[in-house]
Structure 1
């Protein structure tokens, strides 16, 4: 279990609470005209580390899936978000809400907008919902993810 305060009271505490090894189940929904392949579910594992050094930064998360292709999320003090992964860099905004959740907003080159809300119901249970809308605001896809922190058993 994390040694961080729960529920997180500020963005730094939220990012620190994200650190750990997580088992994930994601359900994705494509909002298209057809009836085939509109839904998919996948299991996965993530390792997340948190670095909170730097004057212009609230913190940085490094996310490592089993594939080994890490991505880094940098949270600036002015609410900007930069995601580095592979050859591509995405930029957007982040916001910490009074209920202890965090919202990430990522505009896409084609005018679409992806928004993810992340919150904890327990220190070891994290929920994420993601929606994508096109440039006119029409829904494109959505997903919901449940992340459970891997914890070690106490020695008896």
Structure 2
């Protein structure tokens, strides 16, 4: 990862830095009226690959979770985001912030808006926070995820 500036200075560098194998710990919170099942934590593995994409693209990420059901995220140069997962496609927006983080905004058909902020504290440590709010702006759920890049030991 030493060939990439850190923190990332542009969206393409950010997406390139996302590529790799990640160990992930996600804590999720349901902001409902009940006291049961309001929190869950899960560990997992993610494989992320990056490619340049089409002419009007900043790039494309392919994310493969442990289930093996890959998702493809296409980042258009105009800030649009298309996510293909199986037969379903979701569209939204992306924004790269001056602090080197990226924000994804995904409006749902039912009025819920999911927003994810992703940033690196180190080249091999990525943090993600996600919130979902209803059409009136009331929070429904949130999650926080820590991703640690798997790195191989140098050959002796």
**TM-score, normalising length: structure 2:** 0.98
Report how far residue 2 of structure 1 moved.
5.8
Contact 1:18-1:48 within 8 A present in 2 as well: yes
Contact 1:2-1:124 within 8 A present in 2 as well: no
Three-state SS of the structure 2 residue aligned to 1:15 is helix
Three-state SS of the structure 1 residue aligned to 2:29 is strand
Could you tell me which runs of 5 or more consecutive residues in structure 2 were left unpaired when the two chains were aligned: none
Q: Write the distance in 1 (CA, Å) between the matches of 2:20 and 2:35.
A: 38
Give the corresponding residue for 1:59: 59
Three-state SS of the structure 1 residue aligned to 2:12 is helix
Report how far residue 53 of structure 1 moved.
3.5
Report how far residue 31 of structure 1 moved.
0.1
Three-state SS of the structure 2 residue aligned to 1:14 is helix
Give the corresponding residue for 2:103: 103
Could you tell me which runs of 5 or more consecutive residues in structure 1 were left unpaired when the two chains were aligned: none
Give the corresponding residue for 1:17: 17
Give the corresponding residue for 1:120: 120
Q: Write the distance in 2 (CA, Å) between the matches of 1:117 and 1:3.
A: 24
Contact 1:2-1:17 within 8 A present in 2 as well: no
Q: Write the distance in 1 (CA, Å) between the matches of 2:2 and 2:56.
A: 25
Q: Write the distance in 1 (CA, Å) between the matches of 2:37 and 2:31.
A: 10
Q: Write the distance in 2 (CA, Å) between the matches of 1:117 and 1:59.
A: 18
Report how far residue 65 of structure 1 moved.
1.1
Report how far residue 4 of structure 1 moved.
2.1
The structure-2 alpha-carbon separation of the partners of 1:53 and 1:87, relative to structure 1 and needing over 3 Å to count, comes to closer
Contact 1:27-1:145 within 8 A present in 2 as well: yes
Report how far residue 54 of structure 1 moved.
2.3
Q: CA RMSD in A?
A: 0.9
Report how far residue 11 of structure 1 moved.
0.1
